[in-house]
Amino acid sequence: MTGVLSALEDFGTRSLVIHAIMSVTLPLGFAIGLTVDSRLGLVSFVALLNFTAGMWVCQSIHSLGAEASEDGYDGVINEIRAYVK
């Protein structure tokens, strides 16, 4: 458990995890909203959409702070490129 937490101390790793969560919750919200024909589908869609939007806002604010502190963060695309190389 401490290995996972120490890996998440790096902002680039946290950014990738947050973007992975957002990339799962948004399509899941759309899928539920389109397939479930009741108020449950509507509520689930709105909840997952709001959750994704909240994660995006938090990530955006947090990345602004990471850019101000010379943390070496260059954006999520460059972080993915660093892991692929």
Render pLDDT for 68-85 as a digit per residue (tens, 0 to 9): 555 566 666 676 777 776
Q: What is the pLDDT of residue 35?
A: 94
Residue 52: count of CB within 10 angstroms of its CB: 19
Total of domains in the chain: 1
The answer to whether the CB of 57 falls within 8 A of the CB of 77 is no
Render pLDDT for 23-72 as a digit per residue (tens, 0 to 9): 999 999 999 999 998 999 999 999 999 999 999 998 887 777 666 555 56
CA distances from 31 to 38, 42, 49, 53 (A): 13, 11, 11, 17
Q: What is the pLDDT of residue 58?
A: 87
Residue 62 lies in domain: 2-84
Question: CA–CA separation, 20 vs 5, rounded Å?
Answer: 17
Q: In the numeric block, which tokens belong to residue 39?
A: 């108020």
